[in-house]
Amino acid sequence: MVRATEQRLKISEIFYSLQGEALNSGLPTIFIRLTGCPLRCVYCDTAYAFSGGQWQGIEQIVDTISAYHTPYVTVTGGEPLAQKACMHLLTALCDKGYKVSLETSGALSIAAVDPRVIKVMDIKTPASGEQDRNLDSNLACITSSDQIKFVICNEADYEWSKSLLQTAQLDKRCEVLFSACHSSDPLGGIQLEAKTLAGWILRDQLPVRFQIQLHKFLWGDVAGV
C-alpha cells in the first residue's frame, strides 16, 4: 500500500504571490495549482491548467514550498478535488502547520476535506455556463470558517445570487463573497464593472463582502501571480 505522503499529484505550478481574493486578500501566500478541471466556465482564467503539468510526490511538494516564509498556502486549480490525492495533500500541509485554504468549484464533494482547511467554494452562476454542476449537498459541509463565492457576470447573475443568498440564508453559514467577473480583454471576454456590482450590493443592503481580484489589478491576467 502506498503511504499518503508518497502519493503523487499532477502540478500545473507552484508560486509565491499575494492572495488576491477572499478573507486573506493581500497576504503573502504560496499557491499550489493542480492540473485538470471537469468544468468549462465561460470566463475561466486558468485554462492553461486543464492539461500539462508535472507529477510530484506530496513530500516533494512540501519540500518545495518550504523555501517560502509564510504560513499561508492555497491549493487551487483547475479543480483541485478532481485529483483524489488532493485530500492527502491538504492533510499533509495542515500537519506541517500551514494555514491552508482550498479553492473549489463546488461541483465535487467537499465532505472528506480535512476540517482544518478553509474551504472557499465557488457557486456557479447561470452565466458561467456550469450552473447545473453545483453540488447542493456541499452546503451542509460548509462551516463558519469557510467562504462561499459568487462570480457575477451581469444583472441576471446578481439577482440569481441574491435570491440564493436569501432563500438558503448563506450569510448565516459563513462569509459570502460577491466578485465581478473580470477579463483583461474586454473585447474578448465577459466583464462586469466592479463599481456596478458594488452599487447593487449597497442598494440592496446585502450581507456580503464585495471583492475584486487584487492580483489582476496588480499584474494583469497572467500565470504565476
Separation of alpha carbons 32 and 185, rounded Å:
26
| 194-204 helix and 155-167 helix, angle to the nearest 10 degrees | 40
Q: Decide if 103 is inside a domain.
A: yes
Q: Decide if 181 is inside a domain.
A: yes
Separation of alpha carbons 17 and 38, rounded Å:
26
Rounded to a whole number of angstroms, the CA Rg of the chain reads 17
Q: Decide if 225 is inside a domain.
A: no
The structural domain count of the chain equals 1
Separation of alpha carbons 98 and 108, rounded Å:
24
Q: Decide if 224 is inside a domain.
A: no
Cell of 145: 470558517
Q: Which residues contact 30 (CB under 8 A, 6 or more apart)?
A: 14, 15, 16, 65, 68, 70, 72, 73, 74
| Count, residues in the chain | 225
In 10 A of CB 92, how many CB atoms?
20
Residue type, 63: D
- Distance in angstroms between the alpha carbons of the first and the last residue of the chain: 37
CATH of the domain at 63: 3.20.20.70
Digits of tens for pLDDT over the chain (225 positions)?
Answer: 456 767 999 999 999 999 988 888 889 999 999 999 999 999 998 999 999 999 999 999 999 999 999 999 999 999 999 999 999 999 999 999 999 999 999 999 999 999 999 999 999 999 999 999 999 999 999 999 999 999 999 999 999 999 999 999 999 999 999 999 975 444 445 679 999 999 999 999 999 999 987 766 676 666 766
The predicted structure's pLDDT at residue 185:
45
Q: Decide if 77 is inside a domain.
A: yes
The predicted structure's pLDDT at residue 187:
41
Cell of 154: 451581469
Q: Which range of residues forms the domain containing residue 197?
A: 4-219
Cell of 168: 438558503
Q: Decide if 186 is inside a domain.
A: yes
